Structure 1
C-alpha cells in the first residue's frame, strides 16, 4: 500500500487556524516533533492521526488524502514550457519541490497562467465587437471543462448509479432500448415517441415534462436514440445526484449550470450503455480497437472514443486518453481529457496534425505519432464522424474526432503496433496553434507567433512569408 503523505495540506490547515506546531500537536494528542515530521513528508499519516484531524478540525478526511500531485506536476511542466518563459525551464526536482514546500504559491501561479492562456485565446478569437470585460470573465465552457478535468473526467458516483440501474434493467445490448422505454413508462409514466423530421425540423430530442412524453427525432440512428433515452432517464431518476455534482462547480444559475447538467447526464448515458468493467475488459483484450468495442455495445465510433477517456477508476484504470472533435473549419466542438496533456487543453488547430486530413478520407482511421515544440510526444488516431441529416439541404454534416495518449502507453494500442516506434522520422512536428507555436521553417504557418520573433531576411524567402 502507498504511504499517505499530507505535509503541504497539513501545513495549510494549521496556518488557516493560526496555530503553531505545538498548538496543533496539543489538539491532536501528538508531539510537536511529530507534527513537524508530518509537515515535511518525513512520516506517513496514520489512521489515528487522520481521525484526530477530522474530529479536531471538522475536515473531510478525503480532502486531506486526495492525491492530485501528479496532475498538478504535469500542469506545472506544461506551463513552464510555454514560449513566454523562454529557455531554461525548471527541472522535475525543482517543480516537485515547489509543490511540496510552496503548494499555494504553485496553485496561484497555475491560476495566473490559466488566466493568461484564457485571455490570449479570447484575444485571438475576439472580433471587432469585443470589449475588455469579455476578456476578464471565464466562459461557462471553460469552467465546465476545468470541472471535468479536475475530476480526471471520471465521476464514480455516476458510474455506480449507472451500474446499479443496468443490473436492475437486466438487459443486454440488443434489448437495452426497449428496456429503457419500458422503464420510463412503468416507473415514470413517460411515453417515448419517434417523431417525424417535419414535425421537429430543428430538434433531435424534446422531453415534454407536462405531457410526460419524450420525442426522439427519426433523424437519429439507433445508437443516438438509445443515448438520448438514457440521457433523459438520468435527468428523471437522478436529479439529486446531478445537483450535488454541479454544486461543486464555479457556475452560477443559468445556461452554464444547465449545460453542466447536460454534460453530466451525457456521462451517465455513456456509462449505462457501456458498463465500466465490460468496456475496460474488451478494450484491453482488443488493444483498444474502437470499432470492435462499438460493435459489442451497439454504439458509434465517437461514443466509444468519448467513453475511453472516462476509464480512470482507482484500481482499474485504462489508458489515459484525451479526445477532441473538430469541424471542417478547425473549430474544436468538443474536448474531453482524463490527463493533463498540453495538446488536449489547447490543441486542435495545427494543420500538420492529421485530424484535419480525415475529411479527405472519410471513415478511415488515421494513426499518427506527433511531437510538440516542448518535446512531448503522443500517439493519436483520427477519423470522421457523421451528424444526423435532416434534409437534402444539410448534406455532408461531417466532423472529425481524435483520440490520443502519451507515448508511454502507445505499445498498448493496437493501431500503433504495426509501426517501428524507434524510427527517427516517425513523429510529425506539430504545435498548439500558429499564434503560440515557436517552430521555425514550418511550411504550414499561417500567423506570426505572439511570443517569438521569426527571422526575416529581405534577400531570402523561406517556406512562408513569416520567416526567412
Structure 2
C-alpha cells in the first residue's frame, strides 16, 4: 500500500481553520506530537486518521490525499531549463524535497517564473511602439487553462464518469452517434438541431439559440465535427454543475480564463463521450497508437483522436503520456496540452527545428522525429497537418499542423517509430523557443537570447547574426 504524505495540505487546513496543532489533535483524537510529525511529512497518514480528518473538517478527500506533485515537478524541471538558472540549477532530489516540504513555495516560484516570461514577452512586443505596457504580469487565458489541466494531470474523473453515463447504458455505434445525439438533445433538453448554409451563419460554425431552443450547425463543418459540436452543447447544458465544481477549484480569477476553461472542459467531456476511456485505451494499445486507425474506428477526426490520447491518465489504467501541440503556418501555438515533462512553448512560438513546421510541405503525411532538449531529455514526436473548416473559396488553405510527442522510453509502444531505425536514428537538438534557448550556435535562431548571451563579436560572423 502506497504511503500518503499530507503535511503541507494538513498545515494549510489547520491554518485556514485558525487552529493550533493541539486543537487539531483534539479534533482528530490523536496526539499533538503526531500532528507535528504529519505536518513535517515525517509520518504518513493512516486510513483511520484520514477518515476522521474528512469527517471533522468536511473536506473532499481528493483535496487532502491526491498527489499532483508529478505535474508540478515537470513544470519545475521545465522552468529551470531557462538559461537564467545555468549556474546552481537544483538537481532532481532537491526538487522532490522542495515539493515534499514546501509545495506552496514551489508553486509560487512557478507563478513568478511565468510572470517573468509574460512580462519579458510583452515588454519586447511593446518596445518602441509607444504603447503603454498594460498588465505585464497577466497570464493569457490559454496559459492559465494549460496550467489547470497540468495540475490535474490532464485527466478529470468526474467528467469521465459523466461521459460513461451519457447513453444511459445503451450501445450506440459510431455510425448512429449523430442521429442519437440529435434525438437525445430533443428528448432531454427540448433542443432542435438545424443545419444551415454558410451564408446564413458567415464565420460561425455553431450557435445555440436559447430563446428558440435551437442549435444551428454550419454546413462548413464536416461530419465528425458536427457530432463533436452537438456533444459539446450537451456538456455546457447538462454538465454545468460538474464543470462549475471543477472551475471552483481552478484558482482562475478572471472572466476570460474561466470562459476559456469552461469551453475546454466541455471539449474534454465531448471527447470522452465519443471515445470512451476503456474502449479507446484498448484500441490505442492494440494499434500502437495508430491515430488514423483510431479516428476511423471511433468516427472522429485525427486531431480529436490525438487530443483524447493525452487524457488517458487514469490511475491504474494509464496510457502513454503525450504532449499535444498545434500551430498555424506562422508558427503560432494555437493549442497545447501536456501529460509529459516536455516544456511546451508558451511565448514566442515553437522551436523551428521541430518537424511540425515542416509538415506543411507534405500535407496529410505523418513525419516522425527524435528530438533532444537542452537538458538532454529526449522525445519521440510525430507531426501531421489537419484541415480546418472552409467557409468560401476566398478562405481556402486554412491548414494547421499538430504534433504528438512522448518520452523515448515509450517509443516501443508507438507504431510510427517502427520504421525509424531507433536507436540509430538522428536526434534533432531543439529548445523551448529562441528567446530562452541556450543553443547560441543554432542556424535557425530567430532572436537574440534574452539572458546569458554574450555580445556579438564584430570581427566574426557565426551561423546566424546572433552568434559570432
Q: TM-score of the superposition, structure 1-length normalised?
A: 0.93
Q: Residue 440 of structure 1 contacts residue 454 of structure 1 at CA under 8 Å; is this kept in 2?
A: no
Q: Which residue of 2 aligns with 1:463?
A: 463
Q: Residue 275 of structure 2 contacts residue 298 of structure 2 at CA under 8 Å; is this kept in 1?
A: yes
Counterpart Cα distance in 2 of 1:149 and 1:34: 33
Counterpart Cα distance in 1 of 2:11 and 2:215: 53
Q: Which residue of 1 aligns with 2:69?
A: 69
Deviation at 1:63, TM superposition (A): 1.6
| Aligned partner of residue 324 in structure 2, secondary structure | strand
Deviation at 1:102, TM superposition (A): 2.7
1:193 aligns with 2:194: yes
Q: How many residues align?
A: 467
1:97 aligns with 2:97: yes
Aligned positions of 1:119-130 closer than 5 A: 119-126=119-126, 128=129, 130=131
Cα 1:28–1:238 change in 2 (3 A) is closer
Counterpart Cα distance in 2 of 1:108 and 1:201: 44
Q: Residue 283 of structure 2 contacts residue 294 of structure 2 at CA under 8 Å; is this kept in 1?
A: yes
Gaps of 5+ in 2: none
Aligned Cα RMSD in Å? Answer: 2.3
Counterpart Cα distance in 1 of 2:102 and 2:239: 40
Aligned positions of 1:374-413 closer than 5 A: 374-413=375-414
Deviation at 1:431, TM superposition (A): 1.2
Q: Which moved more, 1:218-227 or 1:93-102?
A: 93-102
Aligned positions of 1:279-428 closer than 5 A: 279-343=280-344, 348-423=349-424, 426-428=426-428
Deviation at 1:108, TM superposition (A): 2.1
Q: Which residue of 2 aligns with 1:225?
A: 226
Cα 1:130–1:311 change in 2 (3 A) is farther
Q: Residue 38 of structure 2 contacts residue 44 of structure 2 at CA under 8 Å; is this kept in 1?
A: yes
Q: Residue 6 of structure 2 contacts residue 64 of structure 2 at CA under 8 Å; is this kept in 1?
A: yes
Cα 1:137–1:193 change in 2 (3 A) is same
| Aligned partner of residue 135 in structure 1, secondary structure | coil
Q: Residue 353 of structure 2 contacts residue 430 of structure 2 at CA under 8 Å; is this kept in 1?
A: yes
Q: Which residue of 2 aligns with 1:237?
A: 238
| Aligned partner of residue 136 in structure 2, secondary structure | helix
Q: Which residue of 2 aligns with 1:430?
A: 430
Deviation at 1:138, TM superposition (A): 2.4
Q: Residue 149 of structure 1 contacts residue 339 of structure 1 at CA under 8 Å; is this kept in 2?
A: no
CA offset digits 1:362-421 (Å, max 9, x no partner): 000011111111222111110000111111101111100011112222221111233343
Gaps of 5+ in 1: none
Q: TM-score of the superposition, structure 2-length normalised?
A: 0.93
| Aligned partner of residue 342 in structure 1, secondary structure | coil
Cα 1:366–1:120 change in 2 (3 A) is same
| Aligned partner of residue 216 in structure 1, secondary structure | strand
Counterpart Cα distance in 1 of 2:9 and 2:212: 51
- 1 or 2 for the larger relative contact order (CA 8 Å, sep ≥6)? 2
Q: Residue 322 of structure 1 contacts residue 405 of structure 1 at CA under 8 Å; is this kept in 2?
A: yes
Aligned positions of 1:14-93 closer than 5 A: 14=14, 21-93=21-93
| Aligned partner of residue 404 in structure 1, secondary structure | strand
Counterpart Cα distance in 2 of 1:352 and 1:75: 22
CA offset digits 1:191-219 (Å, max 9, x no partner): 21111122222211122111122111111
Q: Residue 159 of structure 2 contacts residue 269 of structure 2 at CA under 8 Å; is this kept in 1?
A: yes
Counterpart Cα distance in 2 of 1:400 and 1:59: 43
Aligned positions of 1:156-305 closer than 5 A: 156-252=157-253, 254-305=255-306
Q: Which moved more, 1:219-228 or 1:178-187?
A: 178-187
